[in-house]
Amino acid sequence: MITEEDFSIDELVKKMKKPEIGAIVTFLGVVRDEGIRGMEVDVYDEMAEEELEKLERDALKKFEVEAVEIVHRKGSLKVGENIVAILVGAKHRKEAFRACEYLIDELKERVPIWKKELNEKSEQTY
């Protein structure tokens, strides 16, 4: 899901809890303070949503996991704000960790999202 709104990692975990899930692995990316005042996140919405859905389906097929949730913010973000959350629910932790790492790596490669760091002197896009 792509959103301009902040999200609660606690609420996402609560939503994922089910009797068949014994492990929930989370990745939470936040805007870090490296001399910047914030970040602008641009997204090609339609294509990004489609790719996120494909990634979720891929992880469900490739790993022995029960549930996957990806949330990515867009717009202007301040230092300390949430950027991305990935949650993977599985019967056992090992597959959940593997799937979570796969998802963040593939998200960075496949999903059309651009981040621009904003500081006092310059802007850097990546």
**To the nearest whole percent, how much of the chain has pLDDT over 70?**
94
- Sort 72 into a burial class: Cβ within 10 Å, 0-12 / 13-18 / 19+: buried
pLDDT at 24: 98
pLDDT at residue 23 tops 60: yes
pTM: 0.90
Residue 119's pLDDT band (cuts 50, 70, 90): confident
Residue 35's pLDDT band (cuts 50, 70, 90): confident
The answer for residues whose C-beta is within 8 angstroms of residue 70's C-beta and 6 or more apart is 1, 52, 55, 56, 84, 85, 86, 87, 103, 107
Q: Which domains does the chain have, with CATH numbers?
A: 2-125 (3.90.1170.40)
